[in-house]
């Protein structure tokens, strides 16, 4: 579990700090900044993949009907006001007038209908389907009015529209759309040097308040130590996933309780993990307090037996952290006749803070109670392919699930509901429970339904919840920025001093 050999030594960091003053002269002008992110986007189509690298860039190019303040309050975005509910399944959105995409196309009701129909089309195969599973259709009332229709009552439809990026009616069908994005946002595409960086420039015709940053360069730096040294040397202004042990070594840092929960999704169908005793042992084998304190330096807490975030509606307060009981875990492995059985765990490296180290630590715990662990660490695009491959589920796959909707339906649809997103169970009864909870408008009943679902998954060890994590950022002295609860890197909220 000691990963320090992969990173710069403190001495090297201090040396880099000593020369940072001279190197900072080489930074771009005050209105230009550079941001280091952990992975290159697999696409810049904002509706296709569930890719954090893509979001980091496209959150500044595209916009949504609803938005959130930095502390998570839902507010109108491209919608002129909060939607009104026409009937049990119909929501009416009034749109802002005089908004254009950067290719000159008007943003209007046609754009919204196109955006909705495109992302919910099964043939499009969007990996973001777990956000929008309730939406049935959209229709134009007039140029600035749209009706969005759901399959049943959906109490969180406004929150879903905070996540659906609006795309242009015509250009979104162009073959170049995935590499040359066009949105309504404060920034527009300038260049993409594949393997190196992406440059965005300020949209001169932006409908909202003009941002103070003229240009932002996103550098793809997968190795955390390299991101760190780039910041200390003055080569970038902001890094994500700052290593906890180096918080005091950077010019400025900030940590906020995040919306991400690290989890291992287990297959209940694969031979090596089909036995509930084996899956239970895999939960009992892990010392989550050690992960939180030793690996993450206290910038995380053990997850309480579920993927629902503690801030989200539907969090089950009755569940607790799986206890650390390696002796019982080993006994269960033996009882199941699984001693020496091989479990394959799929993951990636660089996208999330200490992702590889977390995967390796979990594998070491499983090995200690009698299993053999086969690690499959993939590049991020291939990892996503395996994460969303419903036909060939891994024995175990690492995910850092983020609940931006602040509602239990998001993790339910992604990891609990059989057949949806990257869930790996075949529990049809639980799937019906998830579907019923999704359309329940009585909040008391809905909370109780989610409690039943999370308790069932807990008892069956369908998942191995690990930690609720804080987001840790490092940034230069010239950058003024307050991190957001939803982890978005909105450049329009940043300022850079001379």
For residue 160, how many other CB atoms are within 10 A of its CB? 24
How do residues 336-392 score in pLDDT, each as one tens digit? 999 999 999 999 998 888 999 999 999 999 999 999 999 999 998 899 999 999 889
Per-residue pLDDT at 29 exceeds 60: no
Q: Tell me, what's the pLDDT at 498?
A: 67
Stated as kind and residue range, the H or E segment containing 154 is: none
Note whether 89 and 439 are within 8 A (CB): no
Per-residue pLDDT at 133 exceeds 90: no
Per-residue pLDDT at 27 exceeds 90: no
CA distance 241 to 252: 14
Note whether 427 and 418 are within 8 A (CB): yes
CA distance 467 to 116: 34
What confidence tier does 261 reach under pLDDT thresholds 50, 70, 90?
very high
Q: Tell me, what's the pLDDT at 380?
A: 86
Per-residue pLDDT at 35 exceeds 60: yes
CA distance 265 to 302: 16
Per-residue pLDDT at 206 exceeds 80: yes
- N- to C-terminal Cα separation, the chain: 41
Radius of gyration of the chain (CA): 23
Note whether 464 and 396 are within 8 A (CB): yes
Per-residue pLDDT at 14 exceeds 80: no
Q: Tell me, what's the pLDDT at 160?
A: 96
Note whether 424 and 286 are within 8 A (CB): no
What confidence tier does 184 reach under pLDDT thresholds 50, 70, 90?
very high
In this structure, what DSSP letter does residue 24 have?
G
Joined tokens for residue 409: 């339906």
CA distance 125 to 366: 34
Per-residue pLDDT at 235 exceeds 80: yes
How do residues 357-369 score in pLDDT, each as one tens digit? 999 999 999 999 9
Q: Tell me, what's the pLDDT at 347?
A: 96
CA distance 127 to 50: 5
Task: Report DSSP letters for 397-462, one per residue.
Answer: EEEEEE-TT-BTHHHIIIIISTTSTT-----HHHHHHHHHHHT---HHHHHHHHHHHHHHHHHHT-
| Mean pLDDT, the chain, integer | 92
Per-residue pLDDT at 12 exceeds 80: no
Whole-prediction pTM value? 0.80
CA distance 337 to 355: 30
Pick from 353, 399, 350: nearest CA to 246: 353
What confidence tier does 76 reach under pLDDT thresholds 50, 70, 90?
very high
CA distances from 150 to 14, 30, 203, 305, 363 (A): 56, 46, 34, 31, 42
CA distance 400 to 263: 6
What confidence tier does 22 reach under pLDDT thresholds 50, 70, 90?
very low
Q: Which residue has the higher pLDDT, 287 or 225?
A: 287
Per-residue pLDDT at 476 exceeds 90: yes
Joined tokens for residue 241: 């996933």
Per-residue pLDDT at 32 exceeds 50: yes
What confidence tier does 194 reach under pLDDT thresholds 50, 70, 90?
very high
CA distance 343 to 336: 14
Q: Tell me, what's the pLDDT at 52?
A: 85
What confidence tier does 317 reach under pLDDT thresholds 50, 70, 90?
very high
For residue 319, how many other CB atoms are within 10 A of its CB? 18
Q: Tell me, what's the pLDDT at 13?
A: 40
Per-residue pLDDT at 1 exceeds 70: no
Joined tokens for residue 225: 């130590």
Q: Tell me, what's the pLDDT at 15?
A: 37
CA distance 300 to 256: 10
Q: Which residue has the higher pLDDT, 398 or 26?
A: 398
Q: Which domains are assigned to the chain?
A: 4-60+185-251+476-496 (3.40.190.10), 66-173 (3.40.190.10), 257-470 (3.10.105.10)
CA distance 293 to 302: 10
């Amino acid at each position: 579990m000691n990963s320090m050999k992969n990173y710069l030594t403190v001495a090297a960091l201090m040396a880099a700090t000593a020369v940072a003053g001279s190197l900072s002269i080489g930074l771009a002008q005050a209105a230009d900044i550079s941001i280091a992110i952990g992975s290159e986007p697999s696409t810049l189509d904002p509706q296709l993949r569930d890719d954090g690298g893509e979001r980091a860039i496209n959150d500044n190019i595209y916009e949504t009907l609803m938005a959130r303040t930095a502390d998570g309050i839902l507010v109108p975005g491209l919608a002129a006001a909060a939607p009104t509910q026409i009937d049990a399944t119909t929501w009416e959105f009034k749109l802002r007038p005089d908004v254009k995409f950067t290719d000159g196309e008007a943003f209007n009701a046609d754009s919204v209908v196109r955006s909705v129909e495109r992302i919910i089309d099964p043939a499009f195969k969007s990996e973001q389907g777990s956000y929008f599973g309730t939406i049935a259709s959209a229709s134009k009332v007039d140029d600035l009015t749209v009706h969005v229709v759901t399959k049943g009552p959906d109490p969180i439809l406004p929150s879903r529209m905070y996540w659906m990026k609006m795309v242009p009616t015509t250009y979104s069908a162009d073959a170049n759309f995935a590499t040359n994005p066009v949105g309504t946002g404060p920034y527009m595409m300038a260049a993409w040097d594949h393997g190196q960086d992406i440059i965005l420039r300020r949209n001169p015709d932006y409908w909202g308040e003009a941002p103070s940053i003229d240009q932002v360069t996103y550098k793809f730096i997968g190795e955390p130590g390299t991101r760190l040294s780039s910041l200390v040397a003055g080569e970038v202004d902001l890094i994500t996933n700052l290593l906890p042990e180096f918080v005091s070594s950077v010019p400025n840092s900030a940590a906020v309780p995040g919306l991400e929960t690290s989890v291992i999704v287990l297959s209940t169908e694969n031979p090596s993990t089909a036995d509930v005793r084996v899956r239970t042992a895999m939960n009992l084998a892990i010392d989550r307090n050690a992960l939180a304190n030793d690996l993450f330096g206290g910038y995380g807490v053990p997850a309480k037996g579920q993927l629902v975030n503690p801030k989200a509606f539907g969090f089950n307060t009755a569940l607790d952290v799986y206890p650390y009981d390696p002796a019982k875990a080993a006994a269960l492995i033996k009882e199941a006749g699984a001693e020496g059985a091989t479990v394959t765990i799929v993951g990636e490296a660089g996208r999330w803070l200490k992702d590889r180290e977390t995967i390796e630590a979990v594998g070491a715990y499983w090995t200690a109670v009698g299993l053999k662990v086969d690690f499959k660490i993939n590049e991020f695009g291939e990892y996503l392919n395996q994460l969303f491959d419903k036909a060939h589920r891994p024995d175990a796959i690492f995910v850092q699930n983020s609940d931006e909707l602040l509602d239990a339906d998001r993790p339910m649809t992604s990891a609990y509901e059989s057949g949806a997103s990257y869930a790996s169970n075949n529990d049809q009864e639980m799937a019906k429970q998830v579907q019923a909870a999704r359309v329940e408008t009585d909040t008391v009943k809905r909370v109780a339904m989610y409690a039943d679902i999370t308790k069932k998954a807990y008892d069956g060890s369908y998942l191995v919840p690990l930690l609720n994590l804080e987001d840790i950022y490092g940034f230069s002295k010239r950058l003024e920025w307050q991190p957001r609860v939803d982890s978005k890197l909105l450049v329009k909220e940043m300022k850079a001093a001379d």
